[in-house]
Amino acid sequence: MSKPMKPWALVTGAGGFIGHHLVSYLKAAGYRVRGADIKRPEYSGTDADEFMLLDLRELKNCQTCTIGMDRVYHLAADMGGIGYITGSHAGIAYNNSLMNLYMLEASRCNNVERFLFSSSACVYPQGLQTSPDVTPLREEDAFPAEPEEGYGLEKLYAEKLCQYYMEDYGLSTRVVRFHNVYGPLGTYDGGREKAPAAMCRKVACAPNPGTIEVWGDGKQTRSFMYIDDCVEGIHRIMRSDYREPLNLGTDELVSVDELAEIVITASEKKIALVHDLTKPQGVRGRNSDNTRLRAVLQWEPQMTLRKGIAPTYHWIAEQMAAAASVEMSVTGASVAAE
């Protein structure tokens, strides 16, 4: 007798880093998966049963991709590293607000059973993140509100929208607040990359011995979560009965200088750090309080930064080497043709 099929799951942002990995995770767990994004995955094919190339800033497209879906993992967002999100407040707020509003409304209209929204630690008040030795941020700390401009503000607004859609319409929502996700198959150049990927790229490109530039004085602190822990946590939160926002991250606090040294160790190069105090560096310190996550899920992310950086660095280094090889071949062919 055949086993009953698991529900249909929609992953928006399936062409991006976390969404691509989540599609693969859900497929391996037996789900039927539809991906939706304005782009396909950049570095590999998709495991999705269906993939829809759609601009989710349009309501009709959100209605199309949610038809027949049991669960929606809404990960699609206009986002990037600190340089991008501090310089694109209007565009980020506009694009993400439209996607979030329309995905919630389309999910309601198409009778989606559960809707998970990917929020961010950027919702937390700036005034609680002024010291590198930061007190881990608890979920209730989000109010009174003083989120990061643009990206953090629209995420906090969308969290409240999830609450309202649950209270007014009965849409069962889940909210996950990510704390700095990294790993292979993530963006590592172009301005939208996060700190771990940027650091890996800089080290991979540096001569041995050499130097790399670090934004800020390197004393600012963060916690970083490996992608495998992230997608498992997303799945666990979606299946749980907990309907309030939950942190999803590690509580392994490191400085940006320490992050750089971990990457350098993985590279086996001799690299010195040069600090640029004119570049944006975000809040002074941010860390996840996982007390509630442990209580709700009886689980928390397990991968240490030192262990997770190794495969991340080597994947990025391989991409950089392959790109350099292609460029040399093209240049050589051009010279030969002259």
For 198-218, the pLDDT digits (tens) are: 999 999 999 999 999 999 999
DSSP string, 289-320: --HHHHHHHS------HHHHHHHHHHHHHHHH
Check which CATH number belongs to the domain holding 73 and give it: 3.40.50.720
Q: Which helix (H) or strand (E) holds 64?
A: helix 59-66
**Mean pLDDT value of segment 288-307:** 98
Q: Is 336 inside a domain boundary?
A: no
Residue 135 CB-half CA count within 13 A: 8
Q: Is 329 inside a domain boundary?
A: no
Q: Is 175 inside a domain boundary?
A: yes
Q: Say which residues have a Cβ less than 8 Å from residue 89's Cβ, sequence separation at least 6.
A: 149, 150, 151
What 3-state DSSP class applies to 24? helix
Q: Please list the active-site residues.
A: 151
Q: Is 3 inside a domain boundary?
A: no
- Whether residue 325 is predicted with pLDDT greater than 80 in this model: the reply is no
Question: pLDDT tens for residues 215-242?
Answer: 999 999 999 999 999 999 999 999 999 9
Report the candidate in 220, 212, 310 with the shortest Cα–Cα distance to residue 262.
310
| CA–CA distance, 211 with 41 (Å, rounded to integer) | 32
Binned at pLDDT 50, 70 and 90, residue 333 comes out as low
- Whether residue 21 is predicted with pLDDT greater than 90 in this model: the reply is yes
**Computed over its alpha carbons, how large is the radius of gyration of the chain?**
20
Binned at pLDDT 50, 70 and 90, residue 171 comes out as very high
Q: What share of the chain has pLDDT > 70, as a percent?
A: 95
The count of domains in the chain is 1
Q: Which helix (H) or strand (E) holds 221?
A: strand 221-222
Q: Is 337 inside a domain boundary?
A: no
User: Are the C-beta atoms of residues 205 and 334 closer than 8 Å to each other?
Assistant: no
pLDDT at site 327: 67
Report the candidate in 46, 144, 52 with the shortest Cα–Cα distance to residue 106.
52
Give the domain extent around 199: 8-322
Q: Is 224 inside a domain boundary?
A: yes
pLDDT at site 326: 72
Binned at pLDDT 50, 70 and 90, residue 334 comes out as low
Question: pLDDT tens for residues 277-287?
Answer: 999 989 999 99
- Whether residue 176 is predicted with pLDDT greater than 60 in this model: the reply is yes
pLDDT at site 324: 81
Q: Is 154 inside a domain boundary?
A: yes
| CA–CA distance, 43 with 28 (Å, rounded to integer) | 19
**Mean pLDDT value of segment 35-56:** 97
- Whether residue 330 is predicted with pLDDT greater than 60 in this model: the reply is no
pLDDT at site 6: 83
From the number of C-beta atoms within 10 Å of its C-beta (0-12, 13-18, 19+), residue 336 rates as exposed
For all residues of the chain together, what is the average pLDDT?
95
Q: Which helix (H) or strand (E) holds 323?
A: helix 305-337
| CA–CA distance, 199 with 256 (Å, rounded to integer) | 9
Q: Is 330 inside a domain boundary?
A: no
Q: Say which residues have a Cβ less than 8 Å from residue 63's Cβ, sequence separation at least 6.
A: 106, 109, 110
Question: Secondary structure of 261-296 in the HEC alphabet?
Answer: HHHHHHHCCCEEEEEECCCCCCCCECCECCHHHHHH
pLDDT at site 191: 87
